[in-house]
Amino acid sequence: MYSGFQNCKFANSSKVKLKIKISIVSYSNTLPFLYGLMNSSIFSKIDLCNDIPSICAKKLLSNEVDIGLVPVAILPQLKNYHILTDYCIGAKQKVKSVLLVSKVPLNEITNVLLDYQSKTSINLVQILARKFWNINPNFSHAEPGYEDLVKGSTAAIIIGDRTFNLDGKFQYTYDLAEEWNKFSGLPFAFACWVSNKKIPDEFVSELNQALNFGVEHISESISLNESTQLTNEQMLNYLTNDISYHFTAEKRRALNLFLEFLSENVNI
C-alpha cells in the first residue's frame, strides 16, 4: 500500500484554513480511492491518513477525523453517522483478502483468533458461525504474530494484504465474503465512507467524483502499488475481479441484514 500519508499531520495554526480530516484504510484495495483523491481538486482540501481498519474506526469514533473509510460494524457505535458516497470496499462473491484459516475443517474448529486489525470481519465470522455453519467455537482477540498460533483446532481470521502470501500455508481456507454470499445470496460491503457529522453537500459531491475517477482508472492506480507480495498484474486482477467498489442497492441490503444480525450477536 502507498505509504506517503502514514505519518499524517493535521494543520493546527489559527491562520490556516482547517481542512477536512479523513482516515483511509492502508490496504492495497484502496489504491483506486487514493489515486482518485490525489488526482482531484479535493486533495488540497483534506488532511489524509493511512490507517488499518480498526484505527480508522477508532479515529472516527473519537472524533479525531471527520470522515473515515470505516468498517461497517462500527456504525451502531456512532451517535450520528452519514454514509456519504456511492463507493465502498466490498465483494460480490470471493474477496480473497478476508479469510478464516485453519488446519482442520469447520466442524472441528474449537477456537478462533480474531484479527486485531479488523472490526467487520470479526463480527461477520461470528454471524456465519452461528447462523450458517452451526458451530460454536471460542472467539478470542489476537495480538500481532498470532498467525503462527494457528494449529490443531485453533483457527484465525486474517484480513488485508497479509493474506496475499498464504497460498498453501493452511489446509483449510474460508473466504468470508463467499461464505456470506452462500448464506444470504447477497454481496457484502466491508467498509464504507462515513462521517460523524454533517459534511457540506458540495464537498460530498467532490468526494464522490474523486472516488469515481479512481474506480474508473484502476489500472492507473497500480502506479501507487508498493506491495512486494503481488506483481502489478496480480494486483490489477485483485482490484478488478475480487474487490467490488460500487455501493449498490444489493450491498446496502446486505449491510442492513448484517447490522440486523449484529444487533443479535455477542459483543466482541
Residue 54 and residue 40 in one domain:
yes
Instruction: State the cell numbers at 209.
Output: 467524483
**Predicted confidence (pLDDT) per residue in 54-65, tens digit:** 899 999 999 999
Residue 25 and residue 58 in one domain:
yes
**Predicted confidence (pLDDT) per residue in 189-240, tens digit:** 999 999 999 999 999 999 999 999 999 999 999 999 877 778 899 999 999 9
Confidence of residue 246 (pLDDT cuts 50, 70, 90): very high
Q: Which residue, of 184, 205, 234, is where some domain finishes? A: 184
Residue 84 and residue 112 in one domain:
no
Arithmetic mean of pLDDT, 3-27: 65
Confidence of residue 18 (pLDDT cuts 50, 70, 90): confident
- For residues 205 and 216, give the distance between their C-alpha atoms in angstroms, rounded to a whole number: 16
Arithmetic mean of pLDDT, 13-29: 78
10 in a structural domain: no
Arithmetic mean of pLDDT, 141-166: 91
Confidence of residue 8 (pLDDT cuts 50, 70, 90): low
- Name the domain count of the chain: 2
Arithmetic mean of pLDDT, 60-76: 95
Residue 138 and residue 159 in one domain:
yes
4 in a structural domain: no
6 in a structural domain: no
Confidence of residue 129 (pLDDT cuts 50, 70, 90): very high
2 in a structural domain: no
Share of the chain above pLDDT 90, in %: 76
Residue 241 and residue 122 in one domain:
no
pLDDT of residue 114: 95
Single-letter code of the amino acid located at 200: P
Residue 69 and residue 201 in one domain:
yes
167 in a structural domain: yes
pLDDT of residue 15: 44
Q: Which residue, of 143, 161, 184, is where some domain finishes? A: 184
Residue 85 and residue 194 in one domain:
yes
- By residue range, what is the domain housing residue 139? 98-184
Q: Say if residue 126's pLDDT is above 90.
A: yes
Confidence of residue 14 (pLDDT cuts 50, 70, 90): very low
Q: Are 133 and 86 in contact (CB under 8 A)?
A: no
Instruction: State the cell numbers at 221.
Output: 492506480
263 in a structural domain: no
Residue 200 and residue 83 in one domain:
yes
H-only helix segments in 98-200: 120-128, 176-184
- For residues 158 and 151, give the distance between their C-alpha atoms in angstroms, rounded to a whole number: 14
Q: Say if residue 188's pLDDT is above 90.
A: yes
Can you list the positions of beta strands (E) in 160-226? 172-175, 188-195
264 in a structural domain: no
Can you list the positions of beta strands (E) in 30-180? 46-51, 67-71, 82-91, 98-102, 111-114, 138-141, 154-159, 172-175
Query: How far is the CA of 193 from the CAs of 79, 137, 190, 223, in angstroms?
Result: 16, 32, 11, 23
- Where residue 160 falls (left for φ over 0; alpha for ψ -120 to 50; beta otherwise) is left
Residue 161 and residue 232 in one domain:
no
Residue 84 and residue 105 in one domain:
no
113-122, 169-178, 248-257: least confidently modelled range: 113-122
Domain CATH for 123: 3.40.190.10
* DSSP state at residue 19: P
Residue 114 and residue 151 in one domain:
yes
109 in a structural domain: yes
Residue 174 and residue 111 in one domain:
yes
Element (H, E) at 20: strand 20-25
Q: Are 127 and 265 in contact (CB under 8 A)?
A: yes
The helix/strand/coil state of 147 is helix
| Residues 105/107/110/113 CA torsion (nearest 10 deg) | 50
Backbone torsions φ then ψ of 113, nearest 5 degrees: -85, 130
